[in-house]
Structure 1
């Protein structure tokens, strides 16, 4: 028996576009073109936060579309990469875009270590465009894409308030290796590396479970929350809160405990914190 056998039976559910667009605040003509792709991506980034409350509580979040909509769209919650990009992929396909799911090795903070391919991103085909775009609304870092960028090497792209480029890197595999870089602190910094090998939903079911439940995974024992606005990027790691403004200025502080974490998640990140959620290394797991 394989993972997700049940969901393989019959047609995949279609997203509730009205609810999703209301959640992200997107308005416009529902058509599959580059301008729509960029604006949908940006609205998602501004509208739905990144968070790992389920893994921190000891469970893997569901990647089934109805569950994602109940949580991220209607439930006032966020999620991490598999949740965000699975939801966006369903929306883009409903709009008429072609979507290929890819997996990347995160290079940011790796210090040269070889990590497994556990990050999910999307390759999007746009009708009438000469090549595909890289889209990713689930990378929980200040160097994340705000808008999708064309799959073109050695070209700088300005996506909203950020700067990105894709470069090739030699490796031992048969497919070209692409590296996404963000311009941060006056330098180009690697974010993650990927090839164009397609990955399927069952592949992400496996890595989702691994990342959420492996005791050595940082997502299973440290709170990670991110929120991007037109003016700033908020990042909470454990109790350490960092606000980075678009002009480069930063404010940092340590939160004092559970009650302040709940208040910050509610007021600053816009997250409806579930009762009994584990939010700190000293908290007991939910339930």
Structure 2
């Protein structure tokens, strides 16, 4: 079991300056998963948080939350979550990755420009996050489980090869191209800007980093080919810039960063295709 996170330097502020409640992330153990986006936000901000994935009873904690017997959570009018990640903070219990991040980002100073000067910024950031999660997380997962999640990979292997071929040929370039276009637009406003929105680093950059990192794990050959093609220089520069941020670099080198395995991003040799050899891989079936 990995060590529990060390105490961080910064705590989230509260209106009355009282000691804030500890953030509690509830997620499955043994894989980064969708909970990783929340962890990265905490790690970048340097806040104290509890990660139940590091506890011995991690599975039981998740199951208690998503059980059909769970009709309410706590005294506040929280709705029971369907699936993790789940965040508990004081009396609040919420789920859904993008929803959790929308709540956390302003508190963790990861939602730049979300002020009276730009009150709609959080929605623009959320649009970027949802796009990354759709195309570089959900679709990547569905490439190795194209029929349904309840079947083993071996039971849908032929379909997964076909799905992966189509993904790296059509969908992956589409989403990489979109984020490259967003970054180009930002650079046209300010040549020094390297982030997705505004001139400051935000949680959208963190989410895109993790999505691209996971996609690179599942499709290393395809991502390498696209990166070397030179059409997405801004996107991969952002990826490297996030990776080198001090708190993120320290986290990635720590035992708290869980290895990819049987989660969203999975490596199967037969799915490690590029567009020009995907058809050949399928013929071998």
Asked whether the two chains share a fold, i.e. TM above 0.5, the reply is no
TM-score by length of 1: 0.25
Question: Which of these two proteins has the greater Rg computed from alpha carbons?
Answer: 2
Q: Which has the higher contact order (CA 8 A, sep 6+)?
A: 2
Q: Going by fraction, where is helix more abundant, 1 or 2?
A: 2
